[in-house]
Amino acid sequence: MKFFFLLIVVILTVPDNLWASVSGECANCHVMHASKQAVTSTPRATLLNNTCLGCHTGTNDGTNSTPFVYTTGTEELAGGNFRYAVNNERYGHNPIELGAADSLLTGNPPGWKAGFNANGQVGGGSPNWSANNLSCAGTYGCHGRHNSDGIFGSHHNHPTTGAMTTADTVGNSYRFLYGIKGYEDSDYEYQASSANGQHNVYFGTARSGAEASADTPVNTHTMSYLCAECHGIFHSGSGNEGISNTSDTFFSDPWIRHPVDISMPTTGEYASYTSYNLSAPLASDDVSDNTVDMSLPGDRIVMCLSCHRAHASPYYAGLRWNYRGTSGTWVNGCAICHSDKS
């Protein structure tokens, strides 16, 4: 009887957010023994009965509680669709979960730069990209901590609110991207709208002057910083890597890489960007809710995902539009922000 009483106490004192991101029976995700049906001879971590891609593959119809990242359907999610990377690895990221081993035999990821390690740089302190594959999570992955812990426990410790403004654990970080802030759209941008409340809000910061040309990012919680954990040269500005091939002066010509984590002006060629555009989304320095105001500098922050899809897209380099197409197609993407170039 004493044991029964203690068991009841334990059950009643389980934290409310334990099942925040998952619901249903434990057996939906876990098995009791590694030999149980549908589990290979090599046990998966934490007795999971499926892989990342196995759980996150399906047709998006607006009713799925799981964000699908690989689908044969016509509805795409915010991060894009990995199926394009299967067809052509130049069209996006190709984690090992897609099936084919593809380590970077010729070197590091494009734009690799050591030192973007505030959240634990992808690959660890001494990465060996030629012997390891990109993965969804883990040491060589994007989601979770960049070590063997990966996203361990995060599905059970994710806040119910869409605002991820703390980002000091995997569970309270935007989409389990450790250390990254943001506001999560509840249906993962299924049939998203540019209207307030109908899309994700990505966190950014408005660097300027010396901050923009500095080698060390000002804020390590931005979406662009996450990308910089593998592609740091595309983020930084010193050493003529990102600002200019002649100097490090902010906005000096000629640019050799597109700037990120800066606020887009409201005048000149940018004046026509007056409402949030899903084809070229901008980041915000306020992700406490999912509203943005294009008249505010803090809601007009250019980021990596302004031009790219996180996972993959139908276009080269995971771009949101066909940059390598004819002048009548590629300019439609660039001209969303650079309106007088159309």
Q: What is the residue-level pLDDT of the chain in tens, covering all 342 positions?
A: 444 444 333 333 334 333 357 778 888 888 887 765 555 567 778 888 888 999 999 988 878 888 999 987 766 788 999 999 988 888 999 999 998 777 777 688 988 888 888 999 999 878 998 889 999 999 999 999 999 999 999 999 999 899 999 999 999 999 999 999 999 998 888 888 999 999 999 999 998 777 766 666 779 999 999 999 999 888 776 666 654 444 444 445 555 678 889 899 999 999 999 999 999 999 999 999 999 999 999 999 999 999 999 999 999 999 998 887 655 555 678 889 998 865
What's this model's pTM, rounded to 2 decimal places? 0.88
Q: How far apart are CA 276 and CA 74, in angstroms?
A: 23
d(CA 309, CA 319): 6
Contact 183, 198 (CB under 8 A): no
CA distance linking residue 168 with residue 335, whole number of Å:
37
The three-class DSSP label of residue 51 is coil
Token pair of 229, please?
A: 């954990």
SS3 content of the chain, % helix, strand, coil (to 5): 25, 10, 65
> What is the CA angle 324-271-295, rounded to 5?
120
